[in-house]
Every structure is written in C-alpha cells, then in structure tokens.
Amino acid sequence: MEYLVMLPGPTNVPERVTRAMVTPSINHRSDDFVELYEECVDNTKKIFETEGDAVCLSASGTGATECSVVNLIKKE
C-alpha cells in the first residue's frame, strides 16, 4: 500500500530509484564524477536558460538555503 506523504520527508522513493541505489557509488574525485557533475551543471543551465554560472550542491535543502543566504549578504 502506498501512502500520500505530505511532509518534507521522508518521501516515497520510486522503484527505479531504489534499484539505481544498489549500484556502486562514484568516487567524487574520479573522472566519472567530474563528467556526471559537468552534465548536471550543463542541464541546470539549460533548464534555467542561463549562460551564467550554475552550482550543484550535495547538501540538504537547509544547506542550500544557507549557501544562498550567505552569498546574498554583503560583507562589511
């Protein structure tokens, strides 16, 4: 039975994602990771229709929010 989860987490995970999670992790210092990261950045730029910089964070939503706020506040 699937439940409608209306909380920030945990969320229901599709079966295809669960299957993908059993594959070995990619080392974040490997060429494979660099290729994957660059693809994510390029796709993010396409989605937001920008030629500016894009950054993909491996952080929680809270971490991403903190990163955004810190970069919006002017240093004295």
Reported as a single tens digit per residue, the pLDDT across 21-42 is 999 989 999 999 999 999 999 9
Percentage of the chain modeled with pLDDT above 90: 61
Mean pLDDT, residues 8-30 taken together: 89
Mean pLDDT, residues 65-70 taken together: 92
How big is the CA angle at 50 (ends 46 and 47), to the nearest 5 degrees?
A: 30
Q: Where are the alpha helices (DSSP H) in 3-74?
A: 15-20, 31-47, 61-72
- Decide if 54 contacts 48 (C-beta within 8 A): yes
Distances (CA, A) of 12 to 7, 47, 61: 11, 25, 17
Tokens of 3: 């439940």
